[in-house]
Chains A and B, each alone.
Chain A
Amino acid sequence: MKIFKYALLAIPFLYFSCDDDDDTPEPINEEEVITTMTVTLLASDGSGTVVLQTQDLDGDGPNEPVVTVSGPLSSATSYSGSIEWLNEMEDPAEDITEEILEEADEHQVFFSASDGLPLQFVYTAPFDSMGNPVGINFVLAPQNAGDTGSGNLTITLVHEPTKPNDGLDTAGGSIDIQTSFPVTIE
């Protein structure tokens, strides 16, 4: 009859563990999500700023990101650009830019302009610990003063690219953000 004694021993186990409270699970603080990228372009001739923004508040949810461009670029000036990334799922919104700056060695922003959009890009400080570009700040200018056109300006943030590299194609790593902004130069 030993087995029945053991059977009895087992029963409290079963009940003990079924006796959980019906607590609802706590919400998750989705830490690593980037919902918003804002690119601020400040004209060096003092003619103002142009802001490019993409915002996807539901992250991997079905709503598409909202892409806005505040206005045209001027063909007569260069722009100093800076990028800010936010996680607006958290309240208050978390500034991801700092995190990327801290891990400058592991990140790089790549810029590219489609045909018909004669733009050139130059990385500016801060650089990473090895002196390689990061791309949080940059300078953007028409290829030749007076060039006009329209097309897509694509900004790509890559995590863990090979550094140094000669462009997005061979940099490897994985893409954190990639957005194309419809831009015109007048």
Chain B
Amino acid sequence: MKNIFTKWSANLQTKLALIFYFVITVIYSNIYAQNCDNSLSIEVVDLHDGTPLSNAVVLIKELQKEGFTDLDGNVVFENICTDNYTLNISHEECKDITTSLNVNKDTFKKIRLEHHLNELEEIIVISNNRNNSRTLFENKISKQVLEDYNSRTLGEVLKTVTGVSSLNSGNYLSKPVINGLHSSRVILINNGVRLEDQEWGIEHAPSIDINSIDKISIIKGASSLKYAGDAVGGVIIAETSKEKLLDSIYGNVTTNIQSNGRGGGISTDYTKTYSSGWYYRFQGTLKRMGDFETPNYVMTNTGFSEHNLSLKAGLNRIDHGFDVYYSLFSNYLGILRSSHAHTAIDIINAIENEVPHIIEDFSYDINIPRQKISHNLFKLRGFKTFDFGKLSMRYDFQSNDRREYDIRRGDRTKPALDLNLQTHSLAFDLESKFENNSNLKAGISARYQKNFPDPSTGVKRIIPDYKKYDFSLYSVYDMNFSENWFIEAGIRYDFSHIDAYKYYRTSLWEVRNYNELFPEFVVEDLGLNTLTNPKFDFHNISSNLGARYSISESENIFINYSMSSRKPNPSELFSEGLHHSSARIEIGDLSFNSEVGHNFSLTYDSSNEKSSLTVNTFANIVDDFIYMIPVDLMPTIAGVFPYWEYKQEDAKLFGFDVKYDRQYLTNFFVGHQFSIIKGYERANDKPLINMPPVNLKNQISYNFPKLNNLNVSLESEYVFKQNEYPNNNFEVFIPTEQVYQLLDTSTPPSAYHLLNFAASIGLKAENGGNYKINLRIENLFNNLYKNYLNRLRYFTHEMGRNILLSVSYSY
């Protein structure tokens, strides 16, 4: 407990956030004393036949109060003060209506909405725009974009958002990077469940099928505290859309093929809903690709296959409901054959050769080295609305299996790495709305996690056996201060206990001085190895304070400060030895404490019918930032290896993103995106590794509404050369030639420019369904280039021209 209080007093910002938070709570409960006991009843009906519309959203703009109509189309707001109000009524299948209304006594109003079932598609997109956070500008990816990228991975889809890039290991493995941060610093939430899939690994891609997702948002503010306190980079929320409250069947079938990789996929989802609130949904995806190709050669062994499925069923009523969700994500993927390096000299040779050493004819075979991953997620959630708010409970279970097969001697076909990570969690969340435009969200959760590295691999464990117990509490409060000001504040406490068993090399245990620092961890000295039982407790506090100032209807300013605390991940704590795929020795540190990020962001957003502009600036001051640097060369029997150690130093990152879209004439659109990020160690201003280079995207598109909504667009993407990078190069002695050669793993590749073409068309089927045909040509000019954020850039270039065609039918 000592730890928690030190942290408490050390962080003035936390204190301020706390005080602020409680002050608001007090003000809120006292301020309220006018004539405010009117009730306002709204009935929403179909304009055509007068049938009641359930689940319509009625928003009182001035109060920022929202209500949903019940099965009879009614919603009642209590304790409304005497005043004029603007009401906004929306329904998933109807056009929104805004109307004004005077309340000076108990009031009833009937609203008629134009109800069009066959406009489902468009409307769903609109309804997806409900924000998670109202004080932090939130980046969203709509179903539309997801559909255009349905043959891709999550990492690639997220790249469409300004300020987000991806860290790749080849073509398929792609991890999102938010404002320069990734891996354990970016938390993924899949349908409310925090994804636990060995995300610390730089070559581990998130286990989510984008075809199972209807909406993705990226949040960095108070609302993220509901999900995690350690999201130093941000939280990515992937969700399915809410099921409709009516008797209906809807879904779609999508098929796609692409020229590069000579493969494709098929994906389908089917939802049946009943007006009683019951529903079920099935979704499945199959993908298969062969070797990808650069403009000049085949990248041997880069194909993959993916099989995913998800099932959901439940009851969705206004005041109570539950759902059961299961998803399976499994893939099997080849790693570039030539990226298997053993020593520093192998990498020097690869860099010198520029093209892979092994180039074979195109093939669909997935040979060694390869990865096989399967991720099971089971979730059970229920909610009920009480007079104090909506209470929900969630239990989830995840099992992540990761097998990595490496080139091994002696006909060994078993994996070199075989990890099973199981996570159970139980959470209770409360959402309360108060009379004076304020909301309280609070919750409590507990989690148990167990990692099991299978010893039958015959290879030293990279991540040890461990059990982890987490407990957390959070509370987020928001309030409309005045017409223009909206404030949000939150705080979260996380406790973690890690109980690990690990065999350390006795020589390393002693060289690191662990025998004196952590004698209590030693279980048994076995000579070559020492069995240890490291146990750690981490107490972390995270908090957030944000405000939105509305200059006008269409112009907003968002200001946000958030503090996130992240405990070191298993790799940072326990690494000790040769990491084969990187050909380097990686050493963690048992004495690390939590990394604390202070993120300040300021966003200006303005949008009207013709244009929209978003400018986002941020500064992220990270204390005890954990990162790896090469410290030495180490001789082993296999030759000399660079010796990389995890270090804990203060760091700073800052940057800004701009996005501007404008419509000219009636159907001509132009869009621009620009983002720049800089990251340094604070003590010596040395640049941080793997910072995304400056990039600029421009797009022009033209829409032909009369030609079945034909949309044609041209995108240009210019990525500058990263000119600031840490120099981690080494002179390595080549004994056979008796010379020193430079191991240059630092110098970034040159700038590159890509042009992409896209066209889409929508067609109505006779039975009322819709066809959508999408054509994309990426890297139109078949440019040969390398990408700084691709870990395999020493071995290969990037993909050449790729023509993608997808046809989807929705009903």
Q: Tell me, yes or no, whether A binds B.
A: yes
Q: Are B507 and A61 interface neighbours, CB within 8 A?
A: yes
Given the complex, which residues of A lie within 8 Å of B600, measured CB to CB?
A: none
* A3-B459 in contact (CB<8A): no
| Interface pair B448/A178, CB less than 8 Å apart | no
B 303-323 binary contact with A (CB < 8 Å = 1; else 0): 000000000000100001010
Q: Can you name the residue of chain A whose Cβ is closest to the Cβ of B587?
A: A62
Looking at the complex, which one of B395, B453, B523, B736 makes contact with A24 (CB distance below 8 Å)?
B523
Of the listed stretches B72-80, B147-155, B526-534, name the one at the interface; the rest are far from the partner chain: B526-534
Give Cα A177–Cα B407 distance, bound, in whole angstroms: 15
Question: Which one, A24, A115, A175, contacts B738 given CB within 8 A?
Answer: A115
Pick from A27-35, A73-81, A135-143 the stretch touching chain B: A27-35
Residue of B nearest to A168 (CB): B736
The reply on A110 being an interface residue by CB < 8 A is yes
Asked whether, in the complex, the Cβ of B448 is within 8 Å of the Cβ of A28, the reply is: no
Please count how many residues in chain A sit with their CB below 8 Å of the partner chain's CB atoms: 63
B357 at the binding interface (Cβ < 8 Å): yes
CB pair A6 B380 closer than 8 Å: yes
- Residue in chain A with minimal CB distance to B356: A172
A18 and B738 alpha carbons, distance in the complex (Å)? 58
A62 to B73, CA, bound (A): 73
A104 to chain B, nearest CB (A): 12
Q: A6-B380, A29-B458, A175-B342 are in contact. Are A102 and B450 (CB under 8 A)?
A: no
CB contacts (< 8 Å) of B768 on chain A: these are none
B110 cross-chain contacts in A, Cβ below 8 A = none
What's the minimum C-beta distance from B447 to chain A, rounded to whole angstroms?
10
- B459-A32 in contact (CB<8A): yes
Given A27-B503, A178-B639: A7 in contact with B526 (beta carbons within 8 A) = no
Contact partners of B533 in chain A: CB under 8 A: 24
Question: Which residue in chain B gives the minimum CB-CB distance to A27?
Answer: B503
Chain A 59-74 interface mask (CB, 8 Å, partner B; 1/0): 1111111000000000
B607 CB, nearest partner CB in chain A, Å:
39
Interface residue A84 (Cβ < 8 Å from any Cβ of B): no
Q: Tell me whether A26 is interfacial, beta carbon within 8 Å.
A: yes
**Residues of A75-128 whose CB lies within 8 A of B:** 89, 96, 99-100, 102-103, 110, 112, 114-115
Residue-by-residue, is B402-438 near A (CB-CB < 8 Å gives 1, otherwise 0)? 0000011111100000000010101000000000000
Q: Which residue of A lies closest to B342 (CB)?
A: A174
Asked if residues B384 and A3 are in contact (CB atoms below 8 Å), the reply is yes
| A177–B638 touching, CB < 8 Å | yes
The answer to whether the Cβ of A51 comes within 8 Å of any Cβ in the partner chain is no
Given A2-B322, A63-B507, does the pair A178, B397 have CB atoms closer than 8 Å? Answer: no
Interface assignment of B508: CB less than 8 Å from any CB of chain A? yes
CB atoms of B507 and A62 under 8 A apart: yes
Question: B552 near A: Cβ within 8 Å?
Answer: no
Residues of chain A contacted by B639 (CB below 8 angstroms)? 175, 177-178
Contact status A25-B505, CB under 8 Å? no
Stretch at the interface among B248-256, B629-637, B661-669: B629-637
Quote the shortest CB–CB distance from B109 to chain A (angstroms): 33
Q: Say if the beta carbon of B383 comes within 8 Å of chain A.
A: yes
In A13-60, the 8 Å CB interface with B consists of: 13-14, 17-18, 20, 24-32, 34-37, 54-60
Out of A58, A114, A115, which one reaches B505, CB within 8 Å?
A: A58
- List the A side residues contacting B346 at CB < 8 Å: 174-175
The docked-state distance in angstroms from the alpha carbon of A25 to that of B452 is 9
Asked if B635 and A64 make an inter-chain contact with CB atoms under 8 angstroms apart, the answer reads: yes
Assuming the contacts A17-B448, A57-B528, A156-B736, asked whether A26 and B382 have C-beta atoms less than 8 A apart, the reply is: no
Q: Which residues of A contact B384 (CB under 8 A)?
A: 3
A180–B255 alpha-carbon span in the complex (Å): 57
> CB distance B408 to A28 under 8 Å?
no
Q: Which residues of chain B (205-228) have a CB below 8 Å from chain A?
A: none
Q: How far is the CB of A7 from chain B (nearest CB, A)?
A: 5
Contact A28 B382 (CB under 8 A): no
- B393 at interface (Cβ–Cβ under 8 A)? yes
Check if B382 sits within 8 Å of A58, measured CB to CB: no
User: Given the complex of chains A and B, what is the CA–CA distance between A4 and B384 in angstroms?
Assistant: 10
Asked if B585 CB lies within 8 Å of chain A CBs, one says yes
Residue of A nearest to B410 (CB): A99
Given A2-B322, A3-B383, A28:B503 Cβ within 8 A: yes
CB contacts under 8 Å to A, within B469-523, are 501, 503, 505-508, 511, 523
CB contact under 8 A between A14 and B409, given known A2-B322, A60-B578: no
> B132 — which chain A residues lie within 8 A by C-beta?
none
Question: Considering the chains assembled together, what is the distance between the CA atoms of A172 and B352 in angstroms?
Answer: 12
Contact partners of B341 in chain A: CB under 8 A: 174
B395 near A103 (CB under 8 angstroms)? no
Q: Kindly identify which residue among B424, B460, B501, B529 contacts A14, using a CB–CB cutoff of 8 Å.
A: B424
* Contacting pair A6 B409 (CB below 8 A): no
Most chain A Cβ neighbours within 10 Å, of B320, B455, B529, B637: B637
Q: Which chain A positions have C-beta within 8 A of B457?
A: 28
Within 8 A of B (CB), among A118-164: 152, 154, 156, 159-160
Report the separation of the CA atoms of residues A65 and B637 in the bound assembly, to the nearest whole angstrom.
6
In the bound complex, residues from chain B placing their C-beta under 8 Å from that of A175 are: 342-343, 345-346, 638-639
Complex contact A172–B465 (CB within 8 A): no
A186 on the B face (CB < 8 A): no
Using A37-B637, A60-B636 as known contacts, say yes or no to A7 and B735 having CB atoms under 8 A apart: no
What B residues does A176 contact at CB under 8 A? Answer: 342, 409, 638
Q: How far is the CB of A93 from chain B (nearest CB, A)?
A: 12
With an 8 A cutoff between CB atoms, is B749 at the interface?
no
Contacts of B634 in A (CB 8 A): 62, 64
A31 to B511, alpha carbons, bound, how many Å? 25
* A114:B409 contact, CB within 8 angstroms: no
Q: List 7 A-B contacts (CB under 8 A).
A: A3-B384, A18-B448, A58-B528, A112-B735, A112-B736, A114-B738, A115-B738
Other 18 A-B pairs with CB < 8 A, given A32-B458, A112-B735, A174-B407:
A4-B382, A7-B393, A17-B422, A27-B531, A28-B503, A32-B408, A58-B505, A59-B636, A61-B507, A62-B505, A62-B634, A63-B507, A102-B410, A110-B736, A159-B407, A172-B357, A175-B639, A176-B638
Q: Which residues of A contact B (CB under 8 A)?
A: 2-4, 6-7, 9-11, 13-14, 17-18, 20, 24-32, 34-37, 54-65, 89, 96, 99-100, 102-103, 110, 112, 114-115, 152, 154, 156, 159-160, 168, 172-180
6 A-B pairs closest in CB distance: A3-B382, A31-B458, A174-B342, A10-B395, A61-B505, A60-B578
